């Protein structure tokens, strides 16, 4: 059995006639140390999928297991980076990161916990800003804090929910590079959901496209056999990069849309 | 009039001395209101069941005039001072209760998700997330409650005749000293304003978000 295993998972919201099926019979296997990207349209149910793995939501049907154990509730073995950063505005960078560390390693002496917190803040290059509050930070810095907070609890798997969606293109590129470096450092298992195909190709070992909702499910996985580290500039001209990107987009614009859904012409042009 | 702090007898004292007695009583009643009202608000905000059960009761008790509570307090406690405390507390706590409950319900789901993902313990959840997130709402409640407490004390003292700004006001009305009535009204107004100002300063000091 794979490290993370989803079998026939379904989830809907509401009841009676108002009931909307969001995910229908989703299967997904992620190996230990693998970086998997789930790519799909906005509103398809990507966040729902991630919330199920995080244990924030319970599936209506199907099975989710992590390392052989059923996922029933959130746990420190799964670190989550939310799209909206979700930093607590009344705590400083250091306190935000410490929040998780103190909770997950209560037996450690205070000194060790503090060193651990500072180590992860240094890892995301925020040491000079560690006494600042989130409101004083830029979007990219905030998301770095969020990544540090998730990593500092030493989770077995990292769940990223469109982590760079709210950032400008340049900051996004920087953070993608940093994320790849972090991942290369300790080869954590990562599930990234995103609507950015380039981001998925740049970061993932395997891309799983998601069909359009309601009742979304996952399409056939597309492996990304590009050498790492992947240089964003070089990779743009790489034939293999273009090929993988092409296959993902082809699936998303084709089989992923069983029903005709309007896709803006600009998007089609951009990917043509 | 010229000696606001003078004390010549039980009901013959300077206006600010009377006001001070009232303030002490308000402080006690107000503290009682916060001590009861804040946890009650948290419970109402956290538990849907609790909220459903208690909301009708609160909506009925909330509009009851302070003058209606006072006789009940006198019956229960048989003395005017605890009855006044009871009346202040029960009238002043509603804004704190309702605003705290609203603040708890308004906590972004994101923050609660963070608490769940990081497996925060009960006290950690309360002190690191629930309390700071609710604080701005709580202070709105505290401020409104303080205003009500100051309104209530004057009415209560007029009825009980206890030494205080309200009792003094009523006594001066009976003695037909009209300029003292005006003096009392102005004093009450100024003190109320200062209390509110102080509260907003405390609020700014504790601003979280």
Q: Tell me the domain boundaries of chain A.
A: 4-72+199-271
Contact B119 A86 (CB under 8 A): no
Nearest residue, CB atoms, B110 vs list A55, A84, A103 = A84
- Burial class, B165, CB count within 10 angstroms (exposed 0-12 / middle 13-18 / buried 19+): buried
Nearest 10 degrees: Cα torsion A153, A155, A161, A163:
50
Q: Could you tell me which of A193, A209, A217, A202 has the C-alpha nearest to residue A80?
A: A193
For residue B53, give its domain range: 15-205
Going by DSSP bridges, is the β-strand pair A4-13/A78-81 parallel, antiparallel, or unpaired? unpaired
Residue A2 scores a pLDDT above 80: yes
In a domain, B1, yes or no: no
What pLDDT, on the 0 to 100 scale, is given for residue A236?
A: 76
| Cα–Cα distance, A241 to A253 (Å, whole number) | 18
DSSP 8-state symbol, A231: P
Rounded to two decimals, the pTM is: 0.79
Chain B nearest C-alpha distance from A94 (Å): 14
pLDDT category of residue A98 using cuts at 50, 70 and 90: very high
Contact B117 A91 (CB under 8 A): no
CA-CA-CA-CA torsion sign (A177, A182, A188, A190) = negative
Nearest residue, CB atoms, A88 vs list B119, B121, B129 = B129
List the CATH number of the domain containing B64: 1.10.3720.10
What pLDDT, on the 0 to 100 scale, is given for residue B66?
A: 81
Nearest residue, CB atoms, A75 vs list B113, B119, B209 = B119
Using the structure block, give the residue that is written with the tokens 């794979």.
A2
What pLDDT, on the 0 to 100 scale, is given for residue B14?
A: 80
H/E element, A61: strand A61-66
What pLDDT, on the 0 to 100 scale, is given for residue B1?
A: 53
What pLDDT, on the 0 to 100 scale, is given for residue A259?
A: 53
| Cα–Cα distance, A48 to A210 (Å, whole number) | 12
A-to-B residue pairs, Cβ atoms closer than 8 angstroms: 52
Nearest residue, CB atoms, B118 vs list A73, A90, A100 = A100
Alpha helices in A127-237 (DSSP H): 139-152, 169-186, 197-203, 232-235
ipTM: 0.78
Among residues of chain A, what percentage have pLDDT more than 90?
33
pLDDT category of residue A175 using cuts at 50, 70 and 90: confident
Please check whether residue B36 is in contact with residue B94, taking contact to mean a CB–CB distance below 8 angstroms: no
Residue A267 scores a pLDDT above 70: no
pLDDT category of residue A260 using cuts at 50, 70 and 90: very low
Chain A nearest C-alpha distance from B51 (Å): 22
Alpha helices in A105-253 (DSSP H): 110-123, 139-152, 169-186, 197-203, 232-235, 239-253
What pLDDT, on the 0 to 100 scale, is given for residue B81?
A: 85
Contact A82 B110 (CB under 8 A): yes
Please check whether residue B56 is in contact with residue B92, taking contact to mean a CB–CB distance below 8 angstroms: no
Contact A86 B209 (CB under 8 A): no
CB under 8 Å to B143, separation ≥6 — which residues?
Answer: B196, B199, B200, B203
Residue A20 scores a pLDDT above 80: yes
Q: What is the overall mean pLDDT for chain A?
A: 86
Return phi, psi of residue B179, to 5°. -65, -30
Q: What is the pLDDT along chain B (209 residues), one digit of tens a residue?
A: 556 666 776 667 788 888 888 999 999 999 999 999 999 999 999 888 888 888 899 889 888 888 888 888 888 988 888 888 999 999 999 999 999 999 999 999 889 988 988 888 888 888 889 999 999 999 999 999 999 999 999 888 888 888 888 888 888 888 888 888 898 899 999 999 999 999 999 888 877 65
Please check whether residue A121 is in contact with residue A148, taking contact to mean a CB–CB distance below 8 angstroms: yes
CB atoms within 10 A of CB A71: 21
Residue A265 scores a pLDDT above 70: no
Number of folded domains that form chain B: 1
What pLDDT, on the 0 to 100 scale, is given for residue A262?
A: 44
Q: Could you tell me which of B18, B3, B7 has the C-alpha nearest to residue B184?
A: B18
DSSP 8-state symbol, B128: I
| Cα–Cα distance, B153 to B84 (Å, whole number) | 7
In a domain, B127, yes or no: yes
**Residue A83 corresponds to which tokens in the numbers above?**
């799209």
In a domain, B140, yes or no: yes
Judging contacts by C-beta atoms under 8 Å, the chain A residues touching residue B209 are: 89-90
Nearest residue, CB atoms, B117 vs list A54, A88, A102 = A54
In a domain, B8, yes or no: no
Looking at the DSSP assignment, which residues form a beta bridge with residue A208?
A38
Residue A263 scores a pLDDT above 50: no
Please check whether residue A176 is in contact with residue A184, taking contact to mean a CB–CB distance below 8 angstroms: no
pLDDT category of residue A50 using cuts at 50, 70 and 90: very high
Return phi, psi of residue A37, to 5°. -115, 130
From A79, which residue of chain B is nearest by alpha-carbon distance? B117
Contact B121 A88 (CB under 8 A): no
What pLDDT, on the 0 to 100 scale, is given for residue A261?
A: 45
CATH class of A4-72+199-271: alpha beta
Q: Cα B120 to chain center, whole Å?
A: 33
Chain B nearest C-alpha distance from A63 (Å): 20
pLDDT: which is higher, A110 or B5:
A110
Contact B113 A91 (CB under 8 A): no
Q: Own/partner pairs for B106-115, CB < 8 Å, 24+ apart?
A: B106/B137, B107/B133, B107/B134, B108/B133, B110/A82, B110/A84, B110/A86, B111/A86, B111/A88, B113/A56, B113/A74, B113/A80, B113/A82, B113/A86, B114/A82, B114/A86, B114/A88, B114/A99
Contact B208 A89 (CB under 8 A): yes
Q: Could you tell me which of B156, B38, B55 has the C-alpha nearest to residue B103?
A: B38
Judging contacts by C-beta atoms under 8 Å, the chain A residues touching residue B128 are: 88, 91, 99
Judging contacts by C-beta atoms under 8 Å, the chain B residues touching residue A73 are: 116
What pLDDT, on the 0 to 100 scale, is given for residue A272?
A: 47
């Amino acid at each position: 059995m794979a490290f993370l295993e989803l079998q026939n998972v379904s989830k809907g919201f509401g009841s009676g006639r108002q009931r909307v099926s969001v995910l229908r019979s989703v299967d997904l296997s992620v190996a230990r140390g693998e970086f998997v990207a789930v790519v799909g349209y906005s509103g398809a149910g990507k966040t729902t999928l991630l919330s199920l793995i995080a244990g924030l939501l319970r599936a209506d049907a199907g099975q989710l297991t992590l390392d052989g154990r059923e996922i029933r509730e959130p746990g420190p073995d799964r670190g989550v980076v939310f799209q909206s950063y979700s930093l607590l505005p009344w705590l400083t960078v250091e306190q935000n990161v410490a929040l998780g560390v103190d909770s997950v390693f209560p037996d450690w002496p205070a000194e060790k916990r503090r060193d651990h917190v500072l180590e992860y803040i240094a890892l995301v290059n925020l040491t000079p800003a560690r006494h600042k509050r989130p409101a004083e930070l830029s979007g990219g810095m905030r998301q770095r804090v969020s990544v540090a907070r998730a990593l500092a609890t030493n989770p077995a798997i990292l769940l990223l929910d469109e982590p760079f969606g709210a950032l400008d293109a340049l900051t996004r590129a920087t953070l993608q590079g940093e994320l790849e470096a972090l991942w290369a450092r300790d080869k954590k298992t990562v599930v990234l959901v995103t609507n950015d195909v380039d981001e998925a190709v740049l970061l993932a070992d395997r891309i799983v496209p998601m069909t359009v909702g309601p009742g979304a499910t996952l399409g056939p996985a597309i492996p990304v056999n590009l050498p790492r580290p992947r240089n964003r500039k070089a990779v743009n001209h790489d034939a293999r990069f273009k090929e993988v990107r092409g296959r993902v987009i082809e699936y998303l614009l084709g089989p992923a849309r069983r029903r005709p859904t309007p896709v803006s012409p600009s998007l089609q042009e951009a990917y043509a | 009039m010229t000696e606001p702090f003078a004390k010549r007898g039980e009901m013959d004292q300077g206006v600010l001395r009377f006001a001070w007695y009232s303030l002490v009583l308000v402080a006690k009643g107000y503290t009682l209101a916060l001590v009861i009202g804040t946890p009650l608000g948290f419970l109402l905000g956290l538990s849907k069941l609790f909220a459903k059960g208690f909301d009708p009761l609160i909506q009925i008790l909330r509009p009851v005039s302070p003058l209606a509570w006072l006789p009940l307090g006198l019956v229960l406690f048989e003395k005017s001072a605890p009855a006044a405390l009871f009346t202040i507390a029960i009238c002043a706590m509603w804004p704190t209760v309702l605003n705290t409950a609203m603040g708890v319900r308004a906590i972004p789901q994101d923050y609660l998700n963070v608490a769940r993902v990081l497996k925060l313990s009960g006290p950690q959840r309360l002190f690191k997330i629930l309390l700071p997130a609710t604080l701005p709402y709580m202070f709105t409640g505290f401020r409104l409650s303080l205003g009500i407490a100051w309104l209530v004390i004057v009415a209560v003292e007029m009825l009980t005749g206890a030494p205080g700004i309200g009792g003094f006001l009523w006594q001066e009305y009976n003695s037909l000293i009209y300029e003292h009535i005006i003096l009392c009204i102005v004093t009450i107004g100024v003190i109320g304003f200062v209390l509110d100002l102080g509260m907003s300063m405390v609020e700014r000091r504790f601003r979280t978000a």
